[in-house]
A and B are shown apart, each in its own frame.
Chain A
Amino acid sequence: MSTPNPKDSLQAMILALEHYWAERGCVIQQPYPSEVGAGTFNPATFLRALGPEPWRVAYVEPSRRPKDGRYGENPNRFQQFFQYQVLLKPAPGDVVDAYFGSLRALGIEPLERDLRLLEDDWESPTLGAAGLGWQVLMDGTEISQFTYFQQCGGLELPIVSAELTYGLDRIGMMLQGTGRVQDLQWAPGVTWGDLWVRNEWEWSHYNFEQAPVAELFDMFKIWEAEAGRLLDLKLVSPGYDAVIKCSHMFNLLDARGAISVSERVGYIGRVRQIARKAALAYHHLRAELGYPLIKDEPERERWLAHYADAQARLKSQAAKKQGAAK
């Protein structure tokens, strides 16, 4: 069987990217099986970006933005879109060229396009994450977000990762030369419209009209409390899962217009607080596990010693504070 051409279908683009990044040492992971607003929420990014362990991963992330739904009618806006997410930790020195190489793998010839790196400082207030980088423009359209993570869950990152996020739907539309997402070829003979138009209509209907506000507020509180409880038990994965669910409750409430402008900041702050708690729990857990992803023994010892030092420093600071308080 010959390799499918990425210009023919969105699934061929996915295959090309999987192949390209697998060759560059990425673990090919799968989407997170719960609603996320972006690939960054996937623990393969949010948690793995923390701490000193090296990590390379790539995966498709179906991302939900309930507010962006347009009942499947708008050619450019929809509540579920498909990101291709790559995290390279640490970011290699040639990461920008590697990114452009991946565009070549998609059949995009930089010399025949106008490709730009336009300054864009990225921030996720709910995740307490921030980074500097660019939006990548192709002939004036934003096709990717390229971010050097500086902070995650409110923690400064000891090793800076590069996060590359491709807007698959957009790139697909440009490659296939279609102005309507509905006409995008997903697979030979099957369009995006065939797969998702009815889905978009139903979810838009739900997000804007049927989502039960009172129950969602309750669920927000339940998941918020659950995140706290589970993280206290050092159950980091289930605890972080509750953070994701809590964040999704917020997005649904926001789409329903149930949260006023002045309340928004408060809700975002509450999600950020548990996201931070998850980050901190993961930070300690990985050290307790001995940083198993660091395969170089002296390096592993060095980082463990570094962690032990930091803990000792914190302890003595806390003791001093307590002494001063007395």
Chain B
Amino acid sequence: MSRDLLFEIGVEELPSTYIEPALEQLGRGVRAGLADLRLGFGEVVTHGTPRRLAVIVSGVEDRQGDFEEEAMGPAAKVAFDAEGKPSKALVGFCAGKGVDVSAVRRVETPKGQYVAVTVKHVGRAAAEVLPALLAGIATKLQFPKAMRWDDGDYRFGRPVRWLLALLGGDVLPVQAFGLAAGRTTFGHRFLHPGTLEIASPAGYLAALEAAHVIADHRVRRAAVLEQITKVAAGMGGRVVADDELVDINTFLVEWPTAFAGAFEPHYLDLPREVIVTALREHQRFHAAEQADGTLLPGFVAVRNGDARGLEIVRRGNEGVLVARLEDAKFYWDTDRRHTPAEQVEKLSGVVWMEGLGSLREKAARLESLGGWLAERLAPGAKASVARAALLCKTDLLGEMIGSGKEYASLEGIMGGYYAGRAGEPRDVCAAIAEHYRPRGAGDALPASDAGSLLSLADKLDHVAGAFVAGKIPSGSEDPYGVRRAANGAVRIVLEQRRALDLRAVAMEMTRAFFAANPELAQAEIMRKLGEFWRGRVDTALDERGVAYDTREAALEARIELDGAARPGWCDAADALARAQALGAFRGDPRFAPLVVLYKRVANILKAAPEPLPAVLDRAKLGEPAEQALVSALEKARAATAPLWERKAYAEILPALLELEAVIHGFFDHVMVNVDDAPVRLNRLRLLADVRGLFLRGWDLSKVVVEGEKA
């Protein structure tokens, strides 16, 4: 026998972003809890609105399965005294398991004789065990911010006001938040005042719909989308795509009704982003555009209610919007009274980061760093980067970014517009507009070279500055957004395949800070900065599906960048390419033996205490196996030289496989650690040269192969 289960937590209006994560926890908790209780069940479906979090489980078994547990007790010599009478330990064990002492038997184990008992668990009725499960799940739901109410100790996103719990047609006596569950719920706050009785889980959604609540958020979202699309079509256009805003509106209402509003066309002189932001941030309005992408002088709003009084609602909303657009227009007009170039010196008055000088100083650093990056990565963009670097922070001085909270997210974008109006070259404007990208994990990268380089300079300077100022992220704490900045920089480097030496960058970025403040503990800061960047590259490779030991092998390679020896992580894009080549090659059956052999080489070298000669002395190589290894090594070097040049890592690894047989031969026939020091050191030198060839791409000693421990 099985019945459907319904559990609804009735709550005062939850913040729209709290609902889906809470439903996710609710569904997960119910699945795991039912499994723990050994109750079979069918499908688990959650439903959420601002006022309710609900879960419906189909086919919950009426009774837990019976089962037998084999329980081990104390050792036999502890369980019984000298006369063979049960000890206190045994009596306690039996009481704990709910069995009689006579039920125990002796069992032989590798550790000696123990007592054991078979405990029979008789399944309890679902109706008996479910209330505690549901109460436990409900009270453990986590929210970004939880609150208290009444004088209770419970916490929730907003006050919980009712509980509904049904197993089939029966109420489950769930107790939580000082409430007892019943079969009563509430419909729409205004469209259906008063209570609503639910007969059974199967009738829940329909009963609520009759009370003007679309409880299934998937259905409600589809309704919102359909309605706003239709309303926009009625305005002669389409809704500007914004999935997140559709979600927000879905989770702000229980009964959506979309409607159109209008504003004076002259506001369309404002930049598109400003209008969209004015509509979205406070009012949650969708912008509408024509087929060619130009905005329409109107909006689509979603109301929590039906069509009654819609004319008043429309007029009210239009009125508020006019006030917001007027503010925006005032900011826009005021900000354009001075060109960005005229504003540069005023940046001296704004502190960038405590202890790290003003925005004017930051602009100067960006100018120099941008130039330095351009010389290495895109020489043609140098002039644009430098100009954009100088101007890119001036929009922070303006009214739009400075005084209106809702427009702060348009930093950079507004700077691009102001520069454009002031007649700055197009490249410069684009670079300014793009230089905060990517703003987060899902955001697009800058499209232009100048934009990418300026964004890199801005982010790298942010990271270096934070480390210099001691604002180093730790654990989950990152109040200055240092990790986000670093992740953005790594994304640009990886996805645009820009060969950048992160250590050289760190030195370049900190130079100005160190020059300004010689007191700083430079070596310590550089060490921490190095660790941090290595960690960011490691995380980025991890996010791209590279296994842990493959990452280590690629990051710990010894590469050469612009003539300098560097650890493998310093060039993130290259490290990713090497890691991916290694990852693909790991399926080859010849790979594991090669790794084992490489490790043997590495271990011998690790154990060698003396410094090795700088170069190999070929005259000292007497054994044929030595000579074979030297010539194979030279052949491999010659064969892979063009491949390293082209970074054709996928081809290098098979080429290096050729060495395996000769290394084997070497170990079989040559004794490395002989007493004759010059011969010993020369042989070690030869092995070091072999390792060196691999190390240009990978430290294979980091790789874990089957049959060995890490």
Contact = CB atoms under 8 A, between A and B. Distances in A.
A188 to B, nearest CB: 24
A69 B476 CA distance: 42
A174 interface: yes
Given A121-B145, A150-B148, A132 B158 contact: yes
B407 to A, nearest CB: 18
Given A110-B190, A113-B313, A179-B319, A159 B150 contact: yes
Contact of A114 (B14, B148, B303, B323): B303
A12 to B, nearest CB: 20
Nearest to B190: A110
Contacts of A109: 309
B320 interface: yes
A148 B190 contact: no
A153 B327 CA distance: 35
Size class of the contact patch on chain A: 35 or more
Interface in A6-30: none
B309 A113 contact: yes
Nearest to B317: A140
A132 B147 contact: yes
B308 A111 contact: yes
A209 interface: no
Interface string B320-363: 11010000000000000000000000000001000000000000
Given A100-B189, A111-B191, A150-B147, A139 B304 contact: no
Interface stretch (A57-65, A90-98, A242-250, A287-295): A90-98
A93 to B, nearest CB: 6
A119 B16 contact: yes
A115 interface: yes
A138 B305 contact: no
Contacts of B315: 139
Contact of A139 (B161, B191, B313): B313
A140 B150 contact: no
A269 interface: no
Contacts, number: 93
A111 B190 contact: yes
B15 interface: yes
B394 to A, nearest CB: 18
B242 interface: no
Interface in B542-592: none
A322 interface: no
Classify the secondary structure of A's interface with B.
Answer: mixed
Interface in A167-218: 174, 179
A112 B312 contact: yes
Contacts of B303: 114
Contacts of B306: 111
B48 to A, nearest CB: 15
A116 B309 contact: no
Contact of A140 (B12, B147, B283): B283
B526 to A, nearest CB: 29
Interface in A66-117: 76, 90-91, 93, 96-97, 100, 109-117
Given A109-B309, A139-B312, A140-B317, A134 B150 contact: no
A119 B17 CA distance: 10
A132 B145 contact: yes
A48 B119 CA distance: 59
B316 A116 contact: no
Contact of B305 (A93, A111, A140, A141): A111
A90 B312 contact: no
Interface string B295-313: 0000001011110110011
A280 interface: no
A47 interface: no
Nearest to B285: A140
A113 B316 contact: yes
A261 B319 CA distance: 34
Interface string A118-157: 1101000000000110100011110000001010000000
A279 interface: no
A132 B18 CA distance: 14
B190 A160 contact: no
B60 interface: no
Nearest to A262: B351
Nearest to B321: A140
Contacts of B305: 111, 114
A119 B14 CA distance: 7
Contact of A141 (B13, B149, B150, B316): B316
A76 B145 contact: no
Contacts of B147: 131-132, 148, 150, 160
B190 A115 contact: yes
A255 to B, nearest CB: 15
A139 B351 contact: no
Interface residues of B, number: 38
A158 interface: yes
B33 interface: no
A158 B50 CA distance: 27
Given A132-B147, A150-B148, A179-B319, A112 B159 contact: no
Contacts of A76: 323
A200 B161 CA distance: 44
Contact of B312 (A113, A131, A262): A113
B150 A91 contact: yes
A160 B150 contact: yes
A112 B13 contact: no
B117 interface: no
B309 A117 contact: no
B12 A96 contact: yes
Nearest to B324: A140
Contacts of B158: 132
A90 B145 contact: no
B316 A148 contact: no
Contacts of A116: 252, 304
B151 interface: yes
A310 B528 CA distance: 45
A100 B12 CA distance: 13
Contacts of A179: 319
Interface in A251-295: 261-262
A112 B309 contact: yes
Contacts of A138: 316
Given A111-B308, A117-B12, A119-B15, A139 B145 contact: no
Contacts of A139: 312-313, 315-317, 319-320
Indicate the member of B16, B190, B304 with the most A CB atoms within 10 Å.
Answer: B190
Contacts of A96: 12-13, 189
B163 to A, nearest CB: 13
B309 A111 contact: yes
Contacts of A111: 190-191, 305-306, 308-309
A148 B159 contact: yes
A272 B537 CA distance: 44
Nearest to A117: B13
B145 A141 contact: no
Nearest to A120: B15
A115 B304 CA distance: 8
Indicate the member of A114, A139, A261 with the most B CB atoms within 10 Å.
Answer: A114
Contacts of B320: 139-141
Contacts of A113: 309, 312-313, 316
Contact of B308 (A100, A112, A117): A112
A301 to B, nearest CB: 16
Contacts of B14: 119
12 contacts: A52-B151, A76-B323, A91-B159, A119-B16, A132-B147, A139-B315, A139-B320, A140-B321, A141-B320, A150-B147, A160-B151, A174-B316
Smallest CB-CB A-B distances: 10 pairs:
A139-B316, A112-B309, A119-B15, A117-B13, A140-B320, A140-B317, A132-B147, A110-B190, A114-B303, A114-B313
Given A52-B151, A179-B319, 18 more contacts: A76-B323, A91-B149, A91-B150, A96-B189, A111-B305, A111-B309, A113-B312, A114-B304, A114-B305, A115-B190, A117-B12, A138-B316, A139-B312, A139-B316, A139-B320, A140-B301, A140-B316, A262-B351
